[in-house]
Amino acid sequence: DGGITQSPKYLFRKEGQNVTLSCEQNLNHDAMYWYRQDPGQGLRLIYYSQIVNDFQKGDIAEGYSVSREKKESFPLTVTSAQKNPTAFYLCASRPGQTSYNEQFFGPGTRLTVL
């Protein structure tokens, strides 16, 4: 099955901990994205990568970090510097490096800070 997988589905973090959310795609897409969704708000872009070993900050990158060592993987680390990390996190990918193709989304990870 081709698609985007995110793990875990649910994640609980204690104050002061770093946690890493996994995103893997087997669609051979070049570009990958991380979004955050809060209740009643639209999705907001955290980081994106259009090519291996390169990534750019989105609108709300503070307190987050990413890596893109492989084309199929784009993990997101939520650091202790992120003051309000409880949210639903969505990973997406898109073929090519331009804006003419649609984005496809994974099933999401719900992160809760205890």
Binding site for another protein (CB under 8 A): 4, 6, 33, 40-45, 48, 50, 58, 88, 90, 92, 97-108, 110
First to last CA, the chain: 35
Whose Cβ is closer to another protein: residue 82's or residue 109's? Answer: 109
How many CB atoms lie under 10 A from the CB of residue 104? 16
**How does 7-36 read in b/e, with b if 16+ C-beta sit within 10 Å?**
eeeebebeeeeebebebbbeeebbbbbbbb
User: What is the amino acid identity at position 70?
Assistant: K
Shortest distance, position 99 Cβ to another protein, whole Å = 4
Whose Cβ is closer to another protein: residue 65's or residue 105's? Answer: 105
Shortest distance, position 16 Cβ to another protein, whole Å = 27
How many CB atoms lie under 10 A from the CB of residue 66? 22
Whose Cβ is closer to another protein: residue 3's or residue 17's? Answer: 3
Rounded Cα gap, residues 34 and 4, in angstroms: 12
Shortest distance, position 110 Cβ to another protein, whole Å = 7
Shortest distance, position 80 Cβ to another protein, whole Å = 26
Whose Cβ is closer to another protein: residue 80's or residue 103's? Answer: 103
